[in-house]
A and B are shown apart, each in its own frame.
Chain A
Amino acid sequence: MHIPDGFIDPGTSAVAGVVAIGTVGVCVKQAGKAIDDRDVPLAGLAAAFVFSVQMLNFPVASGTSGHLLGGALAAVLVGPWLGPLCVAVVLVVQALLFADGGLSALGLNVVNMSVIGGWGGYAVFVGLRTVLPRARSSIVAAAGIAAGVSVPLAALAFTVQYAIGGNDATSVSTVAVAMVGVHLLIGIGEGVITAMTVSAVMAVRPDLVYGARARELAPVAVRAPMATTVGG
């Protein structure tokens, strides 16, 4: 879902660029408050892993493929501030080195995949984590479902951008239906890959999964019983 140059008009792309820079700035600031030595290589790995798996296009329908976006995955693994930065790094490398995703469209792509995919996915993850039983499998399931939802969310974000700055060749509702339809299918792949990845890390180092670790940030009153549950 990398938007090339020319799909969306320059004005809309520029506004998205400003929004993208602003959100990246917020993420840098917030990440800077809590980042520790372990986060540096871990977040670097999350970025490299997302880049790698984004290359794995899987078929979803006749003549159509999809690939991981990775926003929800990165946010669950390294948190909602470092996660979007990981995906932004991926998008910058792809645009500059591999001519994938337009240069003027970089802001649009960061907004859709890094911010909407990352924060939208993470919000769904947190909501599900709250209602699901406190178990390792719940973290995996919540991550998978959230990742699945994040893809049509990103597709809707593109549709909004098209409505504002597209070429008006097709009605917005038609674009919305087509984009959300195919990205619901791609979302299944996103959910499966995300659940598999989170499950693999949870199996060896659950303490390094931010989305599982962050439960310790709950109020002090419930921290102790939860910590023992997680440890057991």
Chain B
Amino acid sequence: MVVRRNVLGLVIAGLVVAVAVATFASPFASSSPDGLEKVAADKSLDTDVEDHALADGPFADYGVEGVDDERVGTGLAGLVGVAVTFAVGFGLFAVIKRARVEPEPRPEPSSAAAGS
């Protein structure tokens, strides 16, 4: 039987790593096109591409509107993204947990037999 211990420590440590990566490492990540973007450009798959409907949003393309330094903007956008993703995920999973269908209580033949 696995001993059930608290998960708070791991969650905090994991979030610290996620925030560190998104905020401080991602501004130095490769800015080359990713695999799909590269193939799409090389093989002309993108002739009908449309601008993103939300391209004018405050965090579009992993930047922050009004922050001119690209690396600072990317890091801040990463921080916002980690916080929002955790909050949305936590909220969704909490709703699923609350709606959890409890399994049918197991009949206890021994006690039922004793009661009759």
Contacts and interface: CB of A to CB of B under 8 A. Distances in A.
Contacts of A53: 18, 21
A162 interface: yes
Most buried by B among A4, A38, A86, A98: A98
B7 interface: yes
Most buried by A among B4, B5, B86: B86
Contacts of B8: 41
B110 interface: no
Contact of A51 (B4, B5, B34, B85): B85
Interface size class of B (residues with CB under 8 A): 35 or more
B57 A97 contact: yes
A174 to B, nearest CB: 6
Contacts of B53: 5, 103
Interface residues of A, number: 80
Given A52-B21, A99-B52, A182 B97 contact: no
Interface class of chain B by DSSP? helix
Interface string A210-225: 0001001000000000
A22 interface: no
Given A97-B59, A100-B62, A41 B49 contact: no
Interface in A34-65: 35-53, 55-60, 63-65
B29 A56 contact: yes
A132 interface: no
Interface string B10-36: 110011011101100110011111111
A183 interface: yes
A93 interface: yes
Contacts of B90: 40-41, 44
Nearest to B14: A45
Contacts of B93: 31, 35, 39-40, 43-44, 82, 85
Nearest to A178: B39
Most buried by B among A48, A51, A174, A178: A48
B88 interface: yes
Contact of A4 (B47, B49, B59, B80): B49
Given A40-B97, A58-B29, A85-B89, 17 more contacts: A1-B36, A7-B46, A32-B96, A41-B90, A46-B89, A55-B21, A55-B22, A57-B30, A64-B38, A65-B34, A65-B35, A85-B93, A90-B85, A93-B88, A167-B45, A182-B38, A186-B34
Closest 3 CB pairs of A and B: A47-B89, A44-B90, A55-B26
Interface of A: 1-7, 28, 31-33, 35-53, 55-60, 63-67, 82, 85-86, 89-90, 92-100, 102-103, 155, 158, 162, 166-167, 169-170, 174-175, 178-179, 182-183, 185-186, 201, 204-205, 207-208, 213, 216, 227
